[in-house]
Amino acid sequence: MSDKNFTHLKPTIDRVVVYLDGARIYRSGKAELKKGFQQVRVQGLTKNLHKDSVRVSGKGKGSLGAIDVETVYQEEVSHEALNALILEEDKLQKDLQVLTQKMEFASLQNARLKALSDKFSLEFPQWLASGESQLTTLNEFIVFETKRNTDFLKQKQKLEEDIENLQKKLNTLQAKINAYRNKSRVEQTFTITIGVDVNTAGPFVFDLSYQTRGVTWSANYDVDLQPAKAILKGIAQVVNRTLEDWKNVELEISTAVFKPIRVIDPNPFYIDIYDPYARPAAAPKRSMRKMKAGAAGFAASVAKEEAMDDFAPEEEMIEPVAEMKESAVGVQSYVIPGKWTIPSDGNTHPVTLTITELKTEKEFYWAATDALGVIAQDKITNDDEVILGGNAKVYSEGEFIGETHITRVPPRDEFKLGAREELKLAAKKKLLKRVREKAGLVKGKRAISYEYELEIKNFRKEASQMTLKDTIPYSRSERIKIKGFEASIVPAKDNLGIYTWELKLKPDGVTKITYKFEVEWEKDYEITPTLP
C-alpha cells in the first residue's frame, strides 16, 4: 500500500509518567477520516520505544482494528552545524576556566586568612598576658572568623553551582559533537499503523501511549533546619534521554520500576570434610538483582531571595507541590501541577515533589578528645509518609551548612541531620590532680592517680540536651589495672574506657563533672603509649 493511502497523524506528547528506569508517554492527535476502512499512521517515534507496550484508544463514529508496530530504518542526513558546535564548545571551555580560576583564588584567599587566624589564636594568649590586648579583641576575632567562614561557604557554593551548570552544558554539547562525528548512516525509528472502520466520516481523536527506555530519576533534598521544625523539600532529578522532547506536558513521577520484583528461594548451604585431593566443584551461578529504591523525598529549604534593584515584590511566590498518591502495593506517585518542558538532552531537570514541615529537636554533642568543640545537630521526627534515600543539601535558617545523605526513614521514625559547631555552648576539660605513687608504697607496683573536671557552659536561653563523651585508659594487659573510677555525675554508659553522660543543661547555666581513677602496673614494665 502506498504512502498516499494512509492518513498521517502527528500526535503531540501531552502527558508523561516517569518511572525509576523508564517512562510511559501519552500522545493525542486529531484526524479527519472518510467512511470505510482507513489506516492512520504515526511515524518517527523513538527507537527506545517498547514494541509490546503500545496502546491505542480513541473517539469517533467507528471502531478500532489492527494495530501494527513497525521498525523503520532510514538514511541519516549529514549536518553542517559541527563547526558551530565546536566554536560554542570553545567558548564554554573558556568560561569554565574562568570560574575554575575564581574558585582557586577564593580557596587560596581563604587559606591565607585561615593562616592569619591560626597565628592570632596562638599569639593572643601571650598578648593578653602581657596586657597588649583585651578580651574584646577576642570577641571581635570570633565575629570576624564566623563571618569569614560564612562568606567563604556562600561564595564556594555559588561557584560550585555555576561550574556544575556550565559543565552540564558542556557535556551536552560534547555529546552532540561526538554524535555528529561518530553517527551511523542509518537511523532507527518506529511507525505505528492503526486500522479504523469508519461508520460516519468526520473527526476522530486518537490517544496513544507506550513505554520507553532512556529515562531515569533520583531523589534530592533541600533541608532547612529552623527553630522547632525542619522544612524538607523533595526534588526529583529527571534525566530524559528518550530522543523525544517533552513540551508543555502533564508530568507524574512514580517510584515503580519496569523490572519485575520476585521472591528468590535460597540455595542449600552445604559443608563437608576438607579433602586436599578432591577437585573443587564449580561455584553455582547466582542471579543478581539490583533493587532500585527510588525516592520521592520530602525536604525543603526556605531560600533567601535577593532583592531586585528596581522592584521588590511584597509577597513571596508560591511554589506548587505535587499531589501524592499511594497504590495498594506501596508504589508512590506524584502528580506535578502545571505544565512541564523537559528536553531530551541528558541533563538533570529538577522537579519539586513535596514540601513537608516536620518536628525537630536540637541536640548537642561534645567529645572531650575533640578540639573542634560542641557539635549541634537536629533530631527530626518523620510524619506518616515514607522518606526514601537520597542526597541532601542542609541549611540552617536559610544559611547553607553542608551536604549529606538521607537513608530510608519509616513513618514516625527519627533521623538526625545538620551536624555543625555550636558557639553558644562552651566546654573544656581540666586536669585537677596527678599523683605518682612513690617507690615502695605499693610492693612491686607503680601507680598514678588522676582527677579531671569537665565544665560545660550553656549561654542559650533555653534548656539544652547534651551527650558528652570522654575516655580514660583501658588496659589490654593483665599487668595493668585501671582502678577506682568515681564521678560526681554517674555516666549513662561505659564501654572500653569510653564514658558517656546524658546531660540536661540549664539555661545560662554551668555544669561540672569531676571524676578520678588510678592506673596501676608492675614496676618492671613500661606502658605504651606513654601516660599523660
Stretch 397-411: mean pLDDT:
85
3 state SS of 262: coil
Residues with Cβ < 8 Å from 333, sequence gap 6 or more? 17, 252, 253, 254, 255, 256, 324, 325, 326, 327
Question: What gap in Å lies between CA 19 and CA 50, rounded to an integer?
Answer: 14
Q: Angle of helix 135-182 relative to helix 82-130, nearest 10 degrees?
A: 170
Residues 475 and 354 in one domain: no
Question: pLDDT grade, residue 295 (50/70/90)?
Answer: very low
Rounded to an integer, the average pLDDT of 11-39 is 93
Residue 186: count other Cβ atoms within 10 Å of its Cβ.
Answer: 9
Which of the residue ranges 87-101, 249-263, 294-308 has the most confident prediction, judged by mean pLDDT? 87-101
Q: What is the pLDDT of residues 53-110, one digit of tens each?
A: 999 998 999 999 899 999 888 765 455 566 777 888 888 888 888 888 888 888 888 8
Identify the helix (H) or strand (E) that includes residue 17: strand 12-19
Among 488, 484, 439, 438, smallest CA distance to 468 is for 488
70 shares a domain with 14 = yes
Q: Which segments of 384-423 are extended strands (E)?
A: 390-396, 399-406, 414-421
Residues 102 and 248 in one domain: no
User: What's the pLDDT tens digit per position in 129-181?
Assistant: 666 666 676 677 777 778 878 888 888 888 888 888 888 888 888 887 777 66
CA 530, CA 456: separation in Å to the nearest integer?
A: 28
Instruction: Grade residue 215 by pLDDT with cuts at 50, 70 and 90.
Output: very high
Which residue, of 406, 421, 436, is where some domain finishes? Answer: 421
**CA 386/CA 412 separation, integer angstroms:** 9
pLDDT at 20 over 90: no
Q: What is the pLDDT of residue 84?
A: 78
Residue 299 has pLDDT above 50, yes or no: no
Of 236-240, 289-293, 441-445, 477-481, the least confident: 289-293
Question: Does 253 share its domain with 347?
Answer: yes
Domain final residue, candidates 182, 199, 229:
182
On average, the pLDDT of the chain sits at 81
Asked whether 190 and 47 are in contact (CB, 8 A), the reply is yes
Residue 443 lies in a domain: yes
Q: What distance in Å separates the CA atoms of residue 159 and residue 464, rounded to the nearest whole number? A: 36
Residues 68, 191, single domain; the answer is yes
Please report the pLDDT score of residue 252 as a whole number: 94
Residue that finishes a domain, picked among 396, 421, 446: 421
- Claim to verify: residue 369 and residue 253 sit in the same structural domain: yes
Pair 42, 123 in one domain: no
- Reported confidence tier of residue 3, pLDDT bands at 50, 70, 90: low
Identify the residue whose cell numbers are 532510514: 74
Mean pLDDT of 37-54: 92
**CATH number of the domain where residue 484 is located:** 2.60.40
Establish if 268 belongs to a structural domain: no
The residue ranking higher by pLDDT, 104 or 2, is 104
Q: Are 472 and 482 in contact (CB under 8 A)?
A: yes
pLDDT digits (tens, 9 = 90+) for 457-495: 999 888 899 999 999 999 888 889 999 999 999 999 998
Kindly state whether residues 362 and 473 are assigned to the same domain: no
Whether residue 163 is found in the same domain as residue 219: no
Identify whether 528 is part of a domain.
no
Q: Do residues 76 and 183 touch, judged by C-beta distance below 8 A?
A: yes
Q: Is residue 311 part of a domain?
A: no
- Domain membership of residue 298 (yes or no) is yes
The dihedral over CA atoms of 344, 346, 350, 354, expressed in degrees to the nearest 10, equals 80
Return the pLDDT at 315.
Answer: 56
As for how many domains the chain has, the answer is 4
Residues 156 and 139 placed together within one structural domain of the fold: yes
Closest CA to 64 of 55, 77, 53: 55
Percent of the chain past pLDDT 90, that is, above it, reads 37
What's the pLDDT score for residue 146? 80
Q: Mark whether 434 and 510 lie in a shared domain.
A: yes
In a domain, 177, yes or no: yes
Helix (H, G, I), strand (E, B) or coil at 88: helix
Task: Show the CA angle centred on residue 170, arms to residues 168 and 172, nearest 5°.
Answer: 70
What's the confidence (pLDDT) of residue 309?
Answer: 39
Q: For the segment 334-348, what is each residue's pLDDT rounded down to a tens digit? A: 899 999 999 998 899
Whether pLDDT at 17 is above 90: yes
> Does one domain contain both 189 and 173?
no
Reported as a single tens digit per residue, the pLDDT across 357-375 is 999 888 899 998 877 789 8
Is residue 313 pLDDT above 80, yes or no?
no
pLDDT for the residue numbered 376 = 87
281 within a domain of the structure (yes/no) = no
What would the mean pLDDT of 201-230 be, rounded to a whole number?
91
User: Per the domain annotation, does 444 fall within a domain?
Assistant: yes
C-alpha angle 160/164/166, rounded to 5°? 120
pLDDT of 28 > 80? The answer is yes
Predicted pLDDT of residue 456: 94
Confidence (pLDDT) at 122: 75
The parent domain of residue 245 ranges over: 215-258+293-303+320-421
- Least Cα distance to 29 among 44, 14, 11 occurs for 11
